[in-house]
Amino acid sequence: MPNADLSLVDAYWRAANYLSAGQIYLMDNPLLTEPLTPEHIKPRLLGHWGTTPGLNFIYAHLNRVIRDRDLDVLFVTGPGHGGPALLANTWLEGTYSETYPDVPRDADGMRRLFRQFSFPGGVPSHVAPEVPGSIHEGGELGYSLAHAFGAAFDNPDLIVACVIGDGEAETGPLATSWHAGKFLNPQRDGAVLPILHLNGYKIANPSLLARIPHDELDALLRGYGHSPFYVEGDEPKAMHARMAEVLDQVVDEIHHIKGAEERPRWPMIVLRSPKGWTGPSEVDGVPVENTWRAHQVPLAGVRDNPDHLRQLETWLRSYQPAELFDDDGAPRPELAALVPDGTRRMGATPHANGGLLLRELKMPGIRAHAAEVIKHGTTHSEPTRVLGRMLRDIVTLNADARSFRIFGPDETASNRLDAVYEVTGKQWQAETSPVDEHLVHDGRVVEVLSEHLCQGMLEGYLLTGRHGLFNCYEAFIHIVDSMFNQHAKWLKTHKKLEWRRPVASLNYLLSSHVWQQDHNGFSHQDPGFIDHVMNKKAEVVRVYLPPDTNTLLSVADHCLRSKDYVNVIVAGKNETPDWLDVDEAILHCTRGAGIWDWASNDDGIEEPDVVLACAGDAPTVEVLAATSLLREHLPSLRVRVVNVVDLMRLQPDTEHPHGMPDREFDALFTTDKPVIFAYHGYPWLIHRLTYRRTNHHNLHVRGYKEEGTTTTPFDMLVLNDMDRYRLVIDVVDRVPGLGPKAARLRQHMQDQRTRHYNWIREHGEDMPEIRDWTWQ
């Protein structure tokens, strides 16, 4: 590496450091054209210096190697609060001003850049959707490496440089993400270059990986499957030389590996540099640089303490801004020599604005796979198994585009989607054995027993402009509650940024759900992810509960075509009556909720005596069984059946774009008749969604109330008071004027429940009459 080059890299680094510190402190006087006064200082000093100089160091060196070798690099900023660094670098390279013309590359733009940072109405202190070139929010820690792998899939010419903070490295999700290399195909996928940034400290503690012996750290990283290259020190000149040398070696190694068939040991970098590098080494007699005290704002008293103010000015001037920026505040032309061209600039890579690259998913349509339904509910099929066939065709249709993947924690076959294995396999680069099935070096299915890794890789894949599906046991999707939060927040902000193009929705298929857990029991029963999802912004979240095969196909077809949402589909895998033929299913799913006339006997004209509503596959079966019982025992009772597929329909239209106007809700649920609602999940959610409706006081909801164990499906319904007999009792208890016949029916239903309860405990299975039950 010629020395001249490295002094340029150093100048670039100083410029980025200057711009970073400026963002944390300055309201005005951005070029220090006059001596600093308290009026130039922000009233609230909010920002994080500690990680910033290391990030700037990496970014500058990546620029050098991108230019030298014409590389395509996506930068993932793992460390929390890395905002100032990425804002500084994108401003320096010009991408920031291209994205935000009101922040130009001049003195006024620099002032705005500084002022807006962590300022009301401005930009966050983390790397966030607002930052050009980013697919990764730096607020919650743990997901950078999973995002990086997701971005690298099916991008053979891309290098994803992923900086991992040594704080973040302690999290569980990050700790397991190191293994994702076992799913990366060196030829068909891009490379992930992890850069473990050991700056030694977190908020208030040393980091673990910075405090283990070198041989232990080295063993750990080799154990993860990497070849580590070390860049360690604090003397800038030596560090520049070493970093440049290592980056060249690492890129050589990546190019070498691209020809490999088996899993290689991918190179990675360990950068050990001081926290708050080049910042104040001591403040008020206490060490700051290279300690946890450099985490946030090293000089906290600059507005009131003249010593601090002087120290800040000395620090800022140490970067020699006059050498770096011209009188107008623009970066000097020499610095431009380090900036890659056009979309090679990391702030301008289209991979970080995936909507630019997104191609529509080719869809087979649902008719080819739809269950044939001559008479409602008389044939049966396994909804997810049929969906598997549609997914198989999606895989085939999009094979050339290499733009669709299915992720799952070892549950894709258990969730009965295994038809996909007819045309593809499970991506696997680790060792194989002759007994293995469906493991291939180039497959569309990624299975690893980590919901975190599945979610993180899928997020990375989607945000770089591709499509995908995460299939998971319903209960354990809570493992990624917090990741969902962050992705939903990302989407909310992303949608407000016009320059960010729409990306494919994040689609969850939750199966093996609470009512289908006979293998597993209480620990596997939790339908609460829906409740969790509902707390996020209405414009981002959608929840669907298709009751049978054709409605599942219709919902999945819709979700896979949609953009910028999180779609949650809860669907069964066990044999279920086919309620609707394909046309009815499409219509019903389009409406989201509706009366099932064929199951009702209110003749569609008169007001019914009672509404039986259902959402979810098991509740639908029980509601239809209950109507059947009611028809038998109380033939004159007018029963209306309402099925809800799109849960958001229940809300007022003022609360959610899918919400129903009151008029429509009243037309379905009446204004004064009892409504018995059998719901898939925790019953209070239905109340939360409907408490403003006219007839809410007549609404009685049954659902899962946290009663369960390893038992039969029907016993689960009995334990949670959602079985057909209980629903009939609910009707009898709520419809007035049914007379003595009703009291007898009530007792009969109670006897039936007891009979089932006892039979199940004696025989260990459901009574055959439950399983054999068909509609009408």
56 contacts 199 by C-beta, under 8 angstroms: no
| Tokens read off for 575 | 């044999």
Q: Which is nearer to a copy of itself, 207 or 424 (CB)?
A: 207
Residues 7, 37, 211, 657: which binds a copy of itself (CB under 8 A)?
Answer: 211
Residues 213, 333, 739, 740: which binds a copy of itself (CB under 8 A)?
Answer: 213
Could you tell me the smallest distance in angstroms from the CB atom of residue 104 to a copy of itself?
A: 21
- Tell me the C-alpha to C-alpha distance, in Å, between residue 411 and each of 395, 417, 447, 511, 701: 18, 9, 8, 9, 31
Residues 23, 29, 89, 290: which binds a copy of itself (CB under 8 A)?
Answer: 290
Rounded Cα distance, 608 and 612, in Å: 10
Rounded Cα distance, 458 and 444, in Å: 12
163 contacts 78 by C-beta, under 8 angstroms: yes
- 222-281: contacts with a copy of itself (CB under 8 A): 222-225
Residues 227, 486, 562, 774: which binds a copy of itself (CB under 8 A)?
Answer: 486
**Residues near 296 by beta carbon (within 8 Å), at least 6 away in sequence:** 47, 48, 49, 50, 81
404 contacts 361 by C-beta, under 8 angstroms: yes
Using rule CB under 8 A, residue 493 touches a copy of itself: yes
Residues 34, 435, 632, 663: which binds a copy of itself (CB under 8 A)?
Answer: 435
Contact code string over 68-107 relative to a copy of itself, x by CB under 8 A:
----------------------------------------
Using rule CB under 8 A, residue 124 touches a copy of itself: yes
C-alpha Rg value of the chain to the nearest Å:
30
Could you tell me the smallest distance in angstroms from the CB atom of residue 397 to a copy of itself?
A: 25
Closest CA to 77 of 22, 23, 10, 132: 132
Hey, what amino acid is at 587? L
Could you tell me the smallest distance in angstroms from the CB atom of residue 252 to a copy of itself?
A: 23
Residues 237, 256, 359, 763: which binds a copy of itself (CB under 8 A)?
Answer: 763
Q: Which is nearer to a copy of itself, 128 or 570 (CB)?
A: 128
- Provide the sign of the torsion angle of the four alpha carbons 597, 602, 603, 607, taken in this order: negative
Q: Which is nearer to a copy of itself, 499 or 684 (CB)?
A: 684
Q: Which is nearer to a copy of itself, 265 or 591 (CB)?
A: 265
- 157-196: contacts with a copy of itself (CB under 8 A): 167-168, 170-179, 182
Residues 481, 603, 607, 733: which binds a copy of itself (CB under 8 A)?
Answer: 481
Tell me the CA end-to-end span of the chain in Å, nearest whole number.
81
Rounded Cα distance, 57 and 267, in Å: 19
Give the number of other Cβ atoms within 10 Å of residue 44's Cβ.
10
Could you tell me the smallest distance in angstroms from the CB atom of residue 492 to a copy of itself?
A: 7
Q: Which is nearer to a copy of itself, 534 or 560 (CB)?
A: 534
Using rule CB under 8 A, residue 734 touches a copy of itself: no
Q: Give the pairing type, strands 158-165 and 191-198.
A: parallel
Tokens 């600093």 belong to residue: 36
Using rule CB under 8 A, residue 40 touches a copy of itself: no
Could you tell me the smallest distance in angstroms from the CB atom of residue 371 to a copy of itself?
A: 26
* Greatest C-alpha distance within the chain: 99
Using rule CB under 8 A, residue 296 touches a copy of itself: yes
Q: Count the residues of the shown chain that bind a copy of itself, applying the rule CB under 8 A.
A: 123
Give the number of other Cβ atoms within 10 Å of residue 688's Cβ.
12
Q: Which is nearer to a copy of itself, 180 or 599 (CB)?
A: 180
Rounded Cα distance, 384 and 510, in Å: 10
Q: Which is nearer to a copy of itself, 96 or 325 (CB)?
A: 96
| Tokens read off for 755 | 């009979």
Contact code string over 305-334 relative to a copy of itself, x by CB under 8 A:
------------------------------
Q: With contacts defined by CB under 8 A, name the span among 156-164, 307-315, 356-364, 410-418 that binds a copy of itself.
A: 410-418
Q: What share of the chain is helix, strand, coil (3-state, %, to 5)?
A: 45, 15, 40
Using rule CB under 8 A, residue 658 touches a copy of itself: no
Q: Which is nearer to a copy of itself, 139 or 156 (CB)?
A: 139
- 621-650: contacts with a copy of itself (CB under 8 A): none
Hey, what amino acid is at 71? L
- 566-605: contacts with a copy of itself (CB under 8 A): none
- Provide the sign of the torsion angle of the four alpha carbons 561, 562, 566, 572, taken in this order: negative
Q: Which is nearer to a copy of itself, 7 or 523 (CB)?
A: 523
Using rule CB under 8 A, residue 142 touches a copy of itself: yes
Rounded Cα distance, 767 and 407, in Å: 37
